[in-house]
Structure formats: structure tokens, C-alpha cells
Amino acid sequence: MPNKQWHPAFVAAVREALKDAPPGEVEVIPEVALSSKPLGVDVLVVKKSEETKLVHPIAKIFRRYNLFEPIFRTLMIRG
């Protein structure tokens, strides 16, 4: 079974959900390596300022660094 590339769509959805952030206050970084070993995370969202207010409901739980490893990955791999 071919491996489906869902990362670009997920990153686009995260960016769309956070588009209300003031310019330069939130950074969405896809496919971040977390160490020199093959360990990484699918999406890292950096909230650059405590004062930044985001409207999307998921953003209410955000801290400065927010790691995303979506659970639907296993559903897509299994087909």
C-alpha cells in the first residue's frame, strides 16, 4: 500500500487555523528534527509572545512550543 503524504495538508490546516495571529507572532515549522538521531515531530508551532491572542479553539491550550503528531497517521497507513 502506498504511503499517503498528508503532512502538507495538515500543515496547511494548522496555518489556516492560526491565520488570525498578528504577523510574526506565530511560526509553523513542518517536519522538525528533535535531535541528531532520527527523532522528529510532524509540526512545531511556536507562539512567540505570551500576549499573542489566537481565536481558534485549539490555540486556547497553546504554550510557547506546541508539538503536533496527529493520531490519524495510523488510520491513514492502515488504509
Q: How many domains does the chain have?
A: 1
72 vs 32, more confident: 32
* Domain encompassing residue 39: 7-78
Residue 2 forms part of a structural domain: no
- From the list 45, 36, 77, the residue with the least C-alpha distance to 63 is 45
Residue 58 forms part of a structural domain: yes
Q: What is the pLDDT of residue 44?
A: 87
Residue 32 forms part of a structural domain: yes
4 vs 55, more confident: 55
Q: What is the 3-state secondary structure (H, E, C) of 26-60?
A: EEEEEEEECCCCCCEEEEEEEECCCCCCCCCHHHH
Question: Mind listing the pLDDT tens digit for each residue in 18-53?
Answer: 999 999 998 988 877 766 766 677 888 899 988 888
* Distance separating the N- and C-terminal Cα atoms of the chain: 8
CA-CA-CA-CA dihedral for 40, 25, 64, 75, to nearest 10: -40
Residue 1 forms part of a structural domain: no
Yes or no: say if 54 and 20 are a contact pair by the CB < 8 Å rule.
Answer: yes
Listed range (3-7, 30-34, 63-67, 70-74) with the worst mean pLDDT: 70-74
